[in-house]
Structure 1
């Protein structure tokens, strides 16, 4: 339980006052007394114009003074409209946690300080973790609330264009190009476009699907989100309070359509992005779009945002003899409905979420299913185990919980998730023993950090059990190891034992290629090399090339679930706006 006390407020107030004083007098040594030796500072654009984490007091004390001198942070105070200072446990450590506000030369920000006693300094309370996050740019605030567009109530032009006329002209781009072109209209694309809209940055989303939301609507019939509704809101428009805990795919797809209309986002459906090249001198792209009518359109945006997910190109492994198979072969991205395979025999290759869900969907439709496991897989029950990582979102405001999420440095986040993974193992003991008894190969992520870090490093490799594991344990879905496969024949899968598993359908739930391959396809090898590795964690302890400037000016990436996109889109949009207003250089 959280303990809100005046002592917590006093401690946080005192620390913030001393911190502001120390930043103004960096040579007097006060700053050194404020940070615990084992401390962390995560700065999200506020002082460094970067997204970065520093570990240890020495590293913080070296980097902080010059950045503070340049950005002149001031006005540090407990945020009156946020959660009050309180005692919490984070990553197994008891701390005083406080949300604060501050300003810099260019913007206003929020942060979180966590204080713990330093046993080597008389148990004096010192900073264990510090977050400084840019929230808005001075003079370029979001057009929300009291800052919303007013329109003209008293001197209307009855002969001029009305709202609908202006919307059509804005979305048509007949006489102008967008400042930002967003490729992909899922949660990533909608989130960044909505953020940029509120910052008055002209943005166009293009998506190759025929209808907004089809990237969810056209997925397999039984799909619902695997995390709960309170975590998944898009920016500015929370889901209605009567929505189900786990959102069905078609309901989410329809919400995407409503969101685009309500947020007045410019969106071209049936439009394929064919590629582009960057003009260093002009600071613009030349890109080619193939539109729904087959015609091509050349545009010159200053920014291109790839919002195509963690990866965009299906990975189809080279499987011996598969070309000789007489039945139907499809990638999981093409799978729709098990009813089409009632009474048939199906092989599903891959044991991530998609592989399990497709196998279960086929089984429930009356197909005989064999599931092939290619590599060890992390399995957790959908409830409560998979939801443990989202526990903070079960209380408090979305704004506070997002800030808490941002505030956790990588090392502590890994520790916290490892602790959660251990709880999951205990909760799922019976399930996991059952899977091992039928030969299912389990893992618990790198250093046992659980499913979310598998996602953040690999983009997959885990399954939230909604019943398929139970079917595997009972033998209703047959489990085979891919390593025991010899070759495919016209009839099905021939095993090394000599057994042939007859099949009418093979579904390759084998994931997607790395996003670097999509960059090479769309922009060429030189741009791919300039950008480098995408996703996973780099030396700065941050996701590589996500929500931040890359080695290629004007090229940005956003991906992840709805919560990640909601949070990351804010940071990405502020950087693009800062570049457009001359506050930040275009290059990394």
Structure 2
């Protein structure tokens, strides 16, 4: 019997206990934000958050290396609905994790969250319009069913970072550490430390380690653009003092978002000018006569790769003090006592930190399938930045690469909630993005030339060059699109009404 439009079909009692309208995978900043928006906008819907780790926080619970902090300003990185209480522009990793946990607990999201629950696979059954989600919880398999799956798993592999094949690494007599698996209680005091890499992780580690180490060397193959950001500024201080928390947070969020968008556009539209500005700013913070062009003048244009920031120029302060050194060269081999470079020079080391980047991974490594047929993710185009062509009732939260992750993640959470409300109000049990054989030019979904991106593009879906199949890195334009979004654009809706869960006889009713 068909249910009338305005509600979803009832679910059979045999799976009722493990059924939710929405399953949110991941309890990091994306997953918690998704749960909040679903509660706020569609409180009648049931949901559960499945998190593989023992507590909330995602990235901010995973990374424990010294100095871990946000590399975007915290007011745009924080949730728009939960004001950040501090007045510094960058925040420490532990403080961010505590903020996420507080948001979970204060909004009752913890009551819907299943920790230590690793999702391994999800299969769509077109006869019932339901996802079956396989998990392992403390070694015990468990299966969930849901109408919609929201993947808030980030875009890198939590199991381990990228470790290149470095000749002789096994011969090193000291300790080798990857930042993604930082050992608790690692003592670097009085030791010679070499950090391999020049990205956000490396430039965070170097000044933090330099405070206690005998020496710290940042060994890079090529330079990175690095901008110094003050930890506090007068506008932030005055705004926090004069306005109520909610208004102050909103004002600072918009101010900083506009600054990010503006600076990015300047860099992309006038790269030669931007290069000169970065070089001049960097030179002013380094010792007189320092070889800026070798160590801090990249060969690529600003924002071809992600721009890194340092709070109050702490990396440059460590270099000026002599506590840290930058070496630009390639590794010939690792020896028992350190690193021999292609130039013939040797760097002695007691500890080597391989800050060599992430391994990209779509959907947390979860295997998606449709009626048992595996979805080849890299063959799919992304729809409106958060769904996949021809894959029903699944969304993926991925943030900006040129601005704070949360700016995009929150828009995605709201877009998914609106879609679910639209579906339920009309009795639709499926929503399938469909380009209807429209020819699209493919480009990377993560539009950066960084090594960790280029070596893993086959792990991610594709972006087109025209909407709604393009992934755009522009917060302002995305906000405008979100306000006037047409939920039916390039979308096929339908409804199925199973007579029973076991052996259903489905009736499909498609609507335009």
Greater fraction of residues in helix: 1
Measured after TM superposition, the shift of residue 298 of structure 1 is: 0.7
Q: Highest Rg: 1 or 2? A: 1
Q: Is the 8 A contact 1:191 1:235 kept in 2?
A: no
Measured after TM superposition, the shift of residue 252 of structure 1 is: 2.3
Aligned residue among 152, 157, 170 for 1:323: 170
Q: Cα deviations across residues 252-296 of structure 1 (Å, max 9, x unaligned)?
A: 2222222112212111222211222222333322221111x3212
Alignment correspondent of 1:207: 51
Alignment correspondent of 2:298: 443
Q: Which runs of 5+ in 1 are unaligned?
A: 1-138, 141-172, 535-543
Aligned residue among 165, 183, 187 for 1:340: 187
Alignment correspondent of 2:422: 578
Q: Is the 8 A contact 1:183 1:206 kept in 2?
A: yes
CA distance in 2, matches of 1:406, 1:343: 41
Q: Cα deviations across residues 145-180 of structure 1 (Å, max 9, x unaligned)?
A: xxxxxxxxxxxxxxxxxxxxxxxxxxxx98132222
CA distance in 1, matches of 2:363, 2:125: 22
Structure 1 stretch displaced more, 504-513 or 565-574? 565-574
Q: Is the 8 A contact 1:328 1:506 kept in 2?
A: yes
Alignment correspondent of 2:117: 271
Alignment correspondent of 1:303: 148
Q: CA 1:322 to 1:412, structure 2 compared with 1: closer, same or farther past 3 Å?
A: closer
Task: For 1:25-174, list aligned pairs within 5 A.
Answer: none
Between the two structures, name the one with larger relative contact order (CA 8 Å, sep ≥ 6). 2
Task: For 1:518-529, list aligned pairs within 5 A.
Answer: 518-519=364-365, 526-529=375-378
Q: CA 1:428 to 1:499, structure 2 compared with 1: closer, same or farther past 3 Å?
A: closer
Q: Say if 2:97 is the partner of 1:253.
A: yes
CA distance in 2, matches of 1:578, 1:400: 31
CA distance in 1, matches of 2:365, 2:422: 25
Q: Cα deviations across residues 325-369 of structure 1 (Å, max 9, x unaligned)?
A: 333223211226786111222221111111111122221122422
Measured after TM superposition, the shift of residue 194 of structure 1 is: 0.8
Q: Cα deviations across residues 220-278 of structure 1 (Å, max 9, x unaligned)?
A: 243333444433431432234x5554433222222222211221211122221122222
CA distance in 2, matches of 1:330, 1:521: 30
Q: Is the 8 A contact 1:337 1:361 kept in 2?
A: no
CA distance in 2, matches of 1:404, 1:580: 37
Q: Is the 8 A contact 1:338 1:365 kept in 2?
A: no
Q: Is the 8 A contact 2:222 2:295 kept in 1?
A: no
Q: Cα deviations across residues 475-519 of structure 1 (Å, max 9, x unaligned)?
A: 432322342x11123332122244432323222212212234855
CA RMSD of aligned residues (A): 4.1
Alignment correspondent of 1:285: 131
Aligned residue among 365, 381, 396 for 1:557: 396
Q: Cα deviations across residues 546-570 of structure 1 (Å, max 9, x unaligned)?
A: 3345442233211333333233322
Q: CA 1:500 to 1:294, structure 2 compared with 1: closer, same or farther past 3 Å?
A: same
Q: CA 1:559 to 1:429, structure 2 compared with 1: closer, same or farther past 3 Å?
A: same
TM-score (norm 1): 0.57
Aligned residue among 41, 47, 64 for 1:219: 64
Aligned residue among 27, 30, 36 for 1:188: 30
Q: Is the 8 A contact 1:519 1:528 kept in 2?
A: no
Q: Is the 8 A contact 1:519 1:527 kept in 2?
A: no
Corresponding residue SS for 1:208? coil
Task: For 1:286-435, list aligned pairs within 5 A.
Answer: 286-291=132-137, 293-313=138-158, 314-335=161-182, 340-383=187-230, 414-415=265-266, 421=274, 427-431=281-285
Measured after TM superposition, the shift of residue 461 of structure 1 is: 5.6
CA distance in 1, matches of 2:343, 2:277: 39
CA distance in 1, matches of 2:217, 2:38: 47
